[in-house]
Chains A and B, each alone.
Chain A
Amino acid sequence: AQSVAQPEDQVNVAEGNPLTVKCTYSVSGNPYLFWYVQYPNRGLQFLLKYITGDNLVKGSYGFEAEFNKSQTSFHLKKPSALVSDSALYFCAVRDMGTGGFKTIFGAGTRLFVKA
C-alpha cells in the first residue's frame, strides 16, 4: 500500500535562511510525487511535481524539491525563506504501480518563518 510520511509536524526558520520540509514515501511501483501548500482557511495550492526525468524539480514561489529514489524521499526546499511562506505544506504520492488514480497525502508540516 502506498503511504507518505512527513516526519516533522512543524519547521521553524528565520527569514532569509534556507528551509527544508521533509517527505518520504512508500509505493509498489513508480511514484508520482507532489507538493501542495495550504494557507489558513483556504484550499490546497499546487507547488510542484515529480513525474520523471531530472531529480531536481523547480516549482512555484521559488520552491524546489529533490527526488531521491534510493532514500525514497522528496524533500521540499527553498534557498531563502520569506515570512509569507508560513503555511501548511503537504507532500503527496500517486502509486503508478497500482494504476495511479488515488493520491495519498501526508499529515502536513507547518512552516513558521520568523522575521
Chain B
Amino acid sequence: NAGVMQNPRHLVRRRGQEARLRCSPVKGHSHVYWYRQLPEEGLKFMVYLQKENIIDESGMPKERFSAEFPKEGPSILRIQQVVRGDSAAYFCASSPYGTGNNTEAFFGQGTRLTVV
C-alpha cells in the first residue's frame, strides 16, 4: 500500500520561474491538504481540496499560488514567479473523509523548494 507520494523531493528554481509540486494521495483518499513549513517553523495550512473542488484556501497567498485536485491524476500546487521567500518544505496530506471524520491525515515526505 503506497502512502502519500510527493514529487519531486527537491526542486530548485530561479527567481521568476514557476514551481509545480505534485501529490498523489493514498489510494482511495479523496481529500488533500497542503501545508508549508519554513525553516525552523511549524506547519502552516495552505489549502484543502476534494476531487475537483477547493474547499478552503484561506492559507494560500492571494497571488502567484494556486492548487488543484483533478478528477484524474495528482493534486498540483503551483507557484508562479517564485521569489526567495517561497523557499520552504511543502507537505501534502490526505485523508479518506472530510467534514466530521475522526481519521488522522497521512503525510507525504514533502517537496523542498529552493529559490535561487
Residues of chain A whose beta carbon lies under 8 Å from any beta carbon of chain B: 6, 32, 34, 36, 42-46, 49, 51, 90, 96, 99-108
Q: Please tell me if B56 contacts chain A, counting CB pairs below 8 Å.
A: yes
Cβ–Cβ contact A100 & B104, under 8 A: no
Number of A-B contacts (CB under 8 A): 56
Indicate if the CB atoms of A101 and B55 lie closer than 8 Å: yes
* 28 A-B contact pairs sorted by A residue (CB < 8 Å): A36-B107, A42-B109, A43-B4, A43-B91, A43-B109, A43-B110, A44-B91, A44-B107, A46-B105, A46-B106, A49-B104, A51-B102, A90-B43, A96-B100, A99-B99, A101-B48, A101-B55, A101-B56, A101-B99, A102-B33, A102-B56, A103-B33, A104-B45, A105-B35, A105-B43, A105-B44, A106-B42, A107-B42
Complex CA distance for A96 and B98, rounded to whole angstroms = 11
Question: CB distance B99 to A100 under 8 Å?
Answer: yes
Task: Tell which of A6, A32, A43, A107 touches B108, judged by Cβ atoms closer than 8 Å.
Answer: A43
Q: Which of B61-116 contact A (CB under 8 A)?
A: 91, 93, 98-102, 104-110
Partner of B42, one of A46, A101, A102, A105: A105
Query: Are A90 and B107 neighbours in the complex by a CB distance under 8 Å?
Result: no
Interface size on B, residues (CB 8 A): 26
- Chain A positions within 8 Å of B91 at CB level: 43-44
The residue on A at minimum CB distance from B3 is A43
* Residues in B neighbouring A107, C-beta threshold 8 A: 41-42
Q: Given A44-B91, A107-B41, check contact A100 B101 (CB 8 Å).
A: yes
> Closest residue of chain A to B103, judged by CB?
A49
Besides A43-B91, A102-B45, 16 other CB < 8 A contacts? A6-B42, A34-B104, A36-B107, A44-B43, A44-B93, A46-B105, A46-B106, A49-B102, A90-B42, A99-B100, A100-B99, A101-B31, A103-B45, A105-B35, A105-B42, A105-B45
The residue of chain B having its C-beta at the shortest distance from the C-beta of A42 within the complex is: B109
Max chain B C-beta neighbours (<10 A), residue from A42, A101, A107? A101
Interchain CB contact under 8 A, B100 and A102:
no
**CA A102 – CA B55 in complex, angstroms?**
10
Q: How far is the CB of B72 from chain A (nearest CB, A)?
A: 23
